[in-house]
Amino acid sequence: MKCIALIGYMCVGKTTIGKALARHLGIGFYDLDWYIEHRFRRKITDIFAEEGEGKFRDMEQRMLHEVAEFEDIVLSCGGGTPTWGDNMDFLRQTTETVYLKATPETILAHLQMARGNRPLLAGKSEAELDAYVRTQLAEREPYYAQAKHTIDISILDTHQKISDVVAHINAQLTTEKPTLQKSQ
């Protein structure tokens, strides 16, 4: 089975949904950021701090081209991954792309829980964070919208909501790919 790549803004739930979807389908799960950290033995925050976003995005692109060609996996991509270089074209050609779409309000609610781990958000006030998310989401939306499938999500604060999103993704994928079914 082709790699299933989850894309969308930071903190929409790509890793949470990705793990649950992979379990549901009985296949492997990869988080692109974790893959990069493992391969280079460095934290993403350290790469950003020491080398800047441009160097990180080049590294991310190389690793995306490596891992997205794996079969039988769900891949959680970073929020900026589809916007760099040829990444979105590559993803569309080699993977089954799923855009996890969330409102700015949902993203901001999720960010409140994970803000300390986001290098691009360090030191921003609530108003600055709100403006940043809305502006960046608007800039990235044209890339995200190129995904083959779009799933609207709400705040993922219960196991039932996560299960519902996984079921919705599986339903979209099985409509076109009958081989994607829950492993028993």
pTM: 0.88
Residue 96 inside a domain? The answer is yes
φ and ψ at residue 86, rounded to 5 degrees: -95, 15
pLDDT one-digit tens code per residue, 145-177: 999 999 988 767 778 888 888 888 998 888 765
For the chain, the domain total comes to 1
**Residue 184 resides in a domain:** no
In a domain, 181, yes or no: no
In a domain, 34, yes or no: yes
Contact 146, 156 (CB under 8 A): no
Q: What confidence tens digit (pLDDT) does each residue in 46-59 have? A: 998 899 989 999 99
In this structure, is residue 112 part of a structural domain? yes
Per-residue pLDDT of 78-135, as tens digits, reads: 999 999 999 999 999 999 999 999 999 999 888 877 655 665 666 778 899 899 999 9
- Domain ranges, residue 13: 4-176
Domain-embedded: residue 8: yes
Q: Is position 40 within any domain?
A: yes
In CATH, what number is assigned to the domain containing residue 58? 3.40.50.300
